A and B are shown apart, each in its own frame.
Chain A
Amino acid sequence: MALIERPATRDGGLVPAVVTPSSSYGVFRRPVETKGWKSWLFTIDHKKLGIMYGVTAIFFFFLGGFEALLIRAQLATNEGTILSADKYNQMFTMHATTMVFLFVMPMAAAFANYFVPLQIGARDVAFPRINAFGFWCFLFGAIFINTSWFLGGAADGGWFMYAPNSSVPFSPTSGIDFWTLGLQITGIASLTGAINLIVTVINMRAPGMSLMKMPIFTWMILIVQFLLLFAIPVITVALFLLMFQRNFDATFFSVEAGADPLLWQHLFWIFGHPEVYILILPSFGIVSEVLPVFSKKPLFGYPLVVFSGAAIGFVGWGVWAHHMFASGLGPISVAVFSVATMAIAIPTGVKIVNWIMTMWGGKLVFTTAMLFAIGLIVQFTIGGLSGVTHAVAPSDTQQTDTYYIVAHFHYVLFGGAVLGIFSGLYYWWPKMFGKLLNETLGKWNFWLMIIGMNLTFGPMHIIGLQGQPRRMYQTTDARAGEGFFNLNFWNLVASIGSLILGIGAFLFVINVFYSHRKNGPAPLDPWDARSLEWMTASPPKEHNFDAIPTVHHLDEFFHRKYEDRGEGEHHEYHQVATAEDVLAEQEANADKHIHLPSPSYWPIVLAFGLPVMAYGVIYNIWLIVVGGAIVMAAMYGWGLEPATATPDDYDPPTPEGGAELEVAHG
């Protein structure tokens, strides 16, 4: 917990005391700040970390979006000159890298960090300091990758970084080195986060919350963490091999030394396909929360949604080679992977059906969050169906590496992952910040994004089926065709669409500033929500819950608010309590002792050592030693530091240490 609170006065309730650290903490004094930048820098509070993940991720969303706009500007005319071939290649490489690794993944981590403990009735994650370490790894790794723009150019091999095009002879700048090393660092964030969240979900659920009473978002996050747990080491191997190849003269991908370039493709896609589900499942979880709330019905077929999520997670490991249908695997492999890929459409279809059935017979309220969720159903369905057309391997040999694929995965990732994320932002914003976002601006936000995305990615179906390959910095009139299917025309439409999309997405930022200026505090339960995270204050107290609730139902909060007074087949729900009542009851039974871990310097210091080492790999071996020394020192500092501050860290010393929090109510 970042905030160390203890009662300043017995009768004053929870007033954060002004505390000055003593020098008793070895050479360094332990951070105990409750306010100001230090309370963020050294925090281990899952909520603060969640917000930091979110803010960083959204920053990278707009950076990646800016890169996308440059790409579309270049392609608006058939012989665009806004970007050189070199810059264009860097741009699409970094657009994908940014959106996948620096936006969607950390955004899911933001929601997971913030809401998983709240949804399962925990006071923090299992390993708060590792959690902080993960965030700083992500941030420093992300900054590290992007410094390549100023140090000779960014990576230019495409996010899939196929060998041998990623070798030094074909990409002599350091861009790919930054990419390789940076992704190793952000990979640490994903791996530690995965272990942390799995342990949290498995071990720290509130009493009564069996796995099948767990909110669906938490379920999807759990599945995603297992995917990360097993996918990250595979890409780590690939990245290490590439690093040895580029920086230490190994020949893992040098054909002249007898290497097989397909090794990289297999390693990359064994990671890369589970990665697709890593990107999409959190958003599936979000809309599976949002749809029931605004339909006033439980999620239809909850067990099936859980199992289909798990099935996607399993089968997702057996379909990687569908990215390689054109790479000459031989007909038997192609047939096997083709059929496996079709099989994965079944659990995905299950989810669509269950979402629609959740709305069916409901009492639908079209808030912005709900609109984004419905948007996801529609847009993702388009992406899913175009996905079926290239699960069919022969058909895929016509479509792969054309704009048809670009259309497909943007419908899946933008129409799926991003719309889900926006749905979650609008839905959970009042919980995180205690302010509602403006609904009118929100609807503009939604409709402009929907129109923009369909104008941008819709025409790409045509462009692709008309045979325009991806990753070309210029196209030629000679291959553009004439009439309705003129590719120059549709490329221009896509470029205009991207501008609308950009404006639509930016409305979100405007909305945030506007709403925080204009709106008063949000009601405790603005959406009449159903799950545990709404059974706390908004924003939640540092210790999340005054008393850990005991769970009896899936949708526990709903069942505390409503009672079915109907008889037999007839149902009649009456509100018997408000969120305020539920909260008051909790406060009345507040836990007397809440023990929270204290802030720490070490996560950020440890994470800081990693990019130092990475710069060392590229520039100077001695920097590796310096970075390594920082890492070692931080590890020992970390190891020797107790989880909670000792009484001596405070002035005046407290009897039990600063993390002891007494809830004075009642």
Chain B
Amino acid sequence: MADTAVHAATDHGHDDHGTHHTTTGLSNNKLAMWLFLGSECLLFGGLISTYMLYRGRHSENLGPDQLWDIPFTSASSFVLLMSSLTMVLAVTAAKRRDDRNTSLWLTVTAMLGALFVAGQIYEFTVFYREGLGFTTSLFSSSFYTLTGFHGVHVTVGVIMLLSVVGILMKRRTGEDKSELVEMVGLYWHFVDIVWILIFTLVYLIPA
């Protein structure tokens, strides 16, 4: 879905008859992305509520206290946070129409995102080896559902970032791509913020 919103960027983006002009002056694409993210808040709201309700419902020896590896998750959270920084650098480069640096920073952002996802997969594997399957307990189901949904969002973001890099490489026409980059940036920052929330509620606050 996020993808379709980005591809829609082309729908009205190339109008060369001056109808960029919108009633409010906001770009359609950016407005749509904001609305989509508003909707996403409720999605994660529902998932987080479910987790909060069920976080304590696990067997004695397979709860957060036994499983969480805070230093590791802190490190991967830091990686994701840094990717927001590189995303900002990509957006500024795009505004300068500096395709080279835009591509560079977008790639770095995608790499950091991929690293985060890799960390999450590693973490899931460790939990699984310790006996925490998806259906082990209510805690495990809601934990994997929440973090899994987030992981899918990050993965989609990585694909979007790489797609934008591809577009930049293919059509190096110097035209303004900043809006496209900015939209992906909005999505990326949102996913980061959601992770900060998840990290705090799931990992840091004791059950």
Contacts and interface: CB of A to CB of B under 8 A. Distances in A.
**Does A touch B (CB under 8 Å) in the complex?**
yes
Interface of A: 126-130, 133, 188, 191-192, 194-196, 198-199, 202-205, 209, 229-234, 236-238, 240-241, 244, 248-252, 257-260, 263, 267, 593, 595, 597, 606, 635, 638-639, 641-644
A63 to B, nearest CB: 28
Given A260-B53, A597-B11, A195 B141 contact: no
B46 A237 contact: yes
Nearest to A209: B23
B8 A250 contact: no
A229 B35 contact: yes
B39 A191 contact: yes
B9 to A, nearest CB: 9
A204 B40 contact: no
B61 interface: no
The secondary-structure label for the interface of chain B is helix
A124 to B, nearest CB: 9
Interface string B37-77: 01111110111001001100100000000000000000000
B4 A199 contact: no
A241 B145 contact: yes
Interface string B65-108: 00000000000000000000000000000000000000000000
A54 B142 CA distance: 39
B173 interface: no
25 contacts: A130-B5, A133-B4, A194-B35, A198-B31, A199-B32, A202-B24, A203-B26, A204-B23, A229-B35, A232-B39, A233-B39, A233-B45, A233-B46, A234-B42, A237-B43, A241-B145, A252-B50, A252-B141, A257-B57, A258-B54, A258-B57, A267-B46, A635-B3, A635-B7, A641-B10
Contacts of B137: 251, 257-258
A238 B46 contact: yes
Contacts of A191: 1, 39
A250 B7 contact: no
A128 B11 contact: yes
Contacts of B6: 639
Interface stretch (B14-22, B112-120, B121-129, B192-200): B14-22
A198 B37 CA distance: 14
A244 B146 CA distance: 12
Contacts of A230: 38-39, 42
B148 to A, nearest CB: 10
The 7 closest A-B pairs by CB, nearest first: A237-B46, A233-B43, A203-B22, A639-B7, A233-B42, A250-B141, A258-B57
Contact of B31 (A192, A203, A229, A251): A203
Contact of A188 (B1, B8, B10, B35): B1
Contacts of A258: 54, 57, 137-138
B42 to A, nearest CB: 4
Contact of B23 (A127, A202, A237, A641): A202
B15 A237 contact: no
B45 to A, nearest CB: 8
B138 A259 contact: yes
B14 A642 contact: yes
B170 to A, nearest CB: 9
B158 to A, nearest CB: 14
Contacts of B10: 639, 641-643
B187 to A, nearest CB: 13
A606 B134 CA distance: 30
Interface residues of B, number: 46
A241 B50 contact: yes
B22 A204 contact: yes
Given A126-B11, A234-B45, A251-B138, 17 more contacts: A130-B5, A195-B39, A196-B32, A198-B31, A205-B23, A233-B42, A234-B46, A237-B43, A237-B46, A238-B46, A248-B134, A250-B135, A251-B135, A252-B141, A257-B137, A260-B53, A597-B12
Contact of B163 (A130, A252, A263, A639): A639
B137 to A, nearest CB: 7
A200 to B, nearest CB: 8
Best-buried of A244, A251, A593, A597 by chain B (most CB within 10 Å): A251
B155 interface: no
B4 A606 contact: yes
A238 B145 CA distance: 12
Contacts of A248: 134-135
A244 B35 contact: no
A593 B11 CA distance: 17
B75 to A, nearest CB: 29
A192 B24 CA distance: 21
A347 to B, nearest CB: 23
Contacts of B14: 642-644
B206 to A, nearest CB: 20
Interface centre among B10, B137, B163 (most CB of A within 10 A): B10
Contacts of B135: 248-251
Nearest to B141: A250
Contact of B141 (A133, A202, A204, A244): A244
Contacts of B26: 202-203
A466 B39 CA distance: 43
Contacts of B36: 195
Contacts of A251: 135, 137-138, 141
A576 to B, nearest CB: 29
Nearest to B135: A249
A324 to B, nearest CB: 16
A430 to B, nearest CB: 29
Contacts of A133: 4
A194 B50 CA distance: 25
Contacts of B43: 233-234, 236-237
Most buried by B among A195, A198, A259, A644: A195
Nearest to A263: B53
B46 to A, nearest CB: 3
Contacts of B4: 130, 133, 192, 606, 635, 638
Interface centre among A188, A194, A202 (most CB of B within 10 A): A202
A655 to B, nearest CB: 13
A28 to B, nearest CB: 16
Contacts of B8: 127, 129-130
Residue with the highest number of chain B CB atoms closer than 10 Å, among A130, A203, A229, A230? A203
Contacts of A196: 32
A595 B57 CA distance: 58
Given A237-B47, A252-B141, A229 B32 contact: no
Contacts of B31: 198-199, 202-203
Contacts of A257: 57, 137-138
Given A237-B47, A252-B138, A595 B7 contact: no
B138 A203 contact: no
Interface string B158-171: 00000100000000
A42 to B, nearest CB: 15
A5 B129 CA distance: 63
Contacts of A644: 14
B32 A595 contact: no
B11 A643 contact: yes
Contacts of A249: 134-135
A203 B24 contact: yes
A643 B145 contact: no
A237 B53 CA distance: 14
